[in-house]
Structure 1
């Protein structure tokens, strides 16, 4: 999977789930092949799509989009 495919699939999923999702929820929903997201890709998505990872749900950060 290339970065653009990864970014676009997560972007669309977070648009559908405006309350946000944890990495595990995103990974399971999209059937992603990664145990953990690549830190470089996460940093790029913060700039490209406005990804935010702030509040916690249990021990996990909740991923959301800044502009929603």
Structure 2
């Protein structure tokens, strides 16, 4: 099993922040993944919770699925 390093989290966090900061509207994980060219099928849940505190990530249900945005 691969154990992620703190640098991997920082890189992931910064990528998500950059994508969402430049977005005109909230995005789904699939849209974020495609725009950022990320390889993960699903995001690391521990990292997602950490990003809620670190960068103000907010996830909400919408008709198009769970959307991600920054506070």
User: What's the TM-score bracket when you normalise by the shorter of the two chains?
Assistant: 0.7 to 0.9
Gaps of 5+ in 1: none
After the TM superposition, which parts of structure 1 deviate over 2 Å for at least 4 consecutive aligned residues?
none
Aligned length: 65
Secondary structure of 2:25 counterpart: coil
Secondary structure of 1:47 counterpart: helix
Give the aligned partner of residue 6 of structure 1: 12
* Bigger RCO of structures 1 and 2 (CA < 8 A, at least 6 apart): 1
RMSD across aligned positions (CA):
1.3
Gaps of 5+ in 2: 1-6
- Pair member with larger Rg: 2
Among 25, 28, 32, the alignment partner of 1:22 is 28
**Structure 1 length normalisation: TM-score?**
0.88
Matches within 5 A, 1:19-58: 19-58=25-64
C-alpha deviation, 1:33, in angstroms: 1.0
